[in-house]
Amino acid sequence: RGKRAFIAGVADDNGYGWAIAKALAAAGAEILVGTWVPALNIFETSLRRGKFDESRKLPDGSLMEIVKVYPLDAVYDSPEDVPEDVKTNKRYAGSSNWTVKEAAELVKKEYGSIDILVHSLANGPEVTKPLLETSRSGYLAAISASSYSFVSLLKHFLPIMNPGGASISLTYIASERTIPGYGGGMSSAKAALESDTKVLAFEAGRKGKIRVNTISAGPLGSRAAKAIGFIEKMIEYSYVNAPLQKELLADEVGNTAAFLVSPLASAITGSTVYVDNGLNTMGLAV
């Protein structure tokens, strides 16, 4: 049997989640995705109308099949946690079972188990504010959506992950070196995510023989990145200063993810793997 992957954080064909889905599909995996509830309608409609068909193309010419799209809001663990105004919000009211616990239960009911869990999501409402101007609630919201969301996903999916399976998340160098502009507690959230990668690698390794790694990716002009505001500058900076002076393709991150969740990486866990044309190794802009 081929492997089954659940990829949280796919809502269009521009981001890292989509590229990872493609790389896993090309390697023969069955693809389930978790899509943020407010983005669900437009994503499903676009998918159905063939808007993504060009970017669904796999190396062998076939089209990536997304077997099922699950609504998900990784900020909520179970229905008791959902505030009334969200519950009754019209973007949410049309969907059901989108808390992390319910999504995992639904996947279990419909597919039994998974082999691969991918976390490709982040959110920081105050990302454009410097840390010194970030509110407590903005900071905690960034950690909730971008770091604890991974703890929660792994916690709830671990019981249905087959031993030998693996998980992947996406992080950014702003966790360890100052990137002015990546604010709102997002740098803190990525630092937490990387630290948690080590602790969770230990816990999930011992508990379920599951590997946990994170990819520190270079800049990509995704929807989320454009919301931060200086992504074009970062891409240009990387192009000028990285050891490899080429555009960083989302597919390069996708391919690394496919390697890391495959048996080829069977001894790699708890690692932060850089996929950034080597930019992280530079100490001086040239």
Residues forming contacts to ligand NAI in the complex (CB under 6 A) are 9-11, 14-17, 36, 39, 72-75, 120-123, 145, 170-172, 217, 219-220, 222-225
Cα radius of gyration (the chain): 18
Give the nearer residue to ligand NAI in terms of CB position, either 82 or 166: 82
Q: Compute the least distance from the CB of residue 277 to ligand NAI, in Å.
A: 12
| Cβ-closest position to ligand NAI | 15
Task: Report which of 190, 187, 195, 189 is spatially closest to residue 130, judged by C-alpha positions.
Answer: 187
**Minimum CB separation from ligand NAI for residue 125, in Å?**
10
Choice between 122 and 260, CB closer to ligand NAI? 122
Q: Choose the catalytic residue: 70, 182, 237, 274.
A: 182
Q: Is 182 a catalytic residue?
A: yes
**The token pair that represents 121 in the structure block:** 């999501």
CB of residue 8 to ligand NAI, shortest distance in Å: 6
For residues 13 and 111, give the distance between their C-alpha atoms in angstroms, rounded to a whole number. Answer: 25
Name the minimum Å distance from CB 61 to ligand NAI: 25
Please identify, using beta-carbon distances, which residue of 17 and 208 lies nearer to ligand NAI: 17
Could you tell me whether strands 272-275 and 211-217 are parallel, antiparallel, or unpaired per DSSP bridges?
parallel
Catalytic residue among 76, 172, 237, 274: 172
Name the minimum Å distance from CB 169 to ligand NAI.
7
**Segment (H or E) for 232:** helix 231-241
Q: From 189, 55, 183, 198, select the one nearest 121 (Cα to Cα).
A: 189
Biggest CA–CA distance in the chain, Å, is 54
Instruction: Estimate to the nearest angstrom the gap between the alpha carbon of 220 and the chain centroid.
Output: 13
The reply to whether 172 belongs to the active site is yes
Nearer to ligand NAI, 145 or 258 (CB): 145
Q: Which two tokens mark 222? A: 């995704």
Half-sphere exposure of 183 (CA within 13 A, CB side): 17
Q: Given the complex with ligand NAI, which of 63 and 69 has the nearer CB atom?
A: 69
Tokens of 265: 């990486």
Residue type, 175: S
- By annotation, the residues acting in catalysis are 172, 182
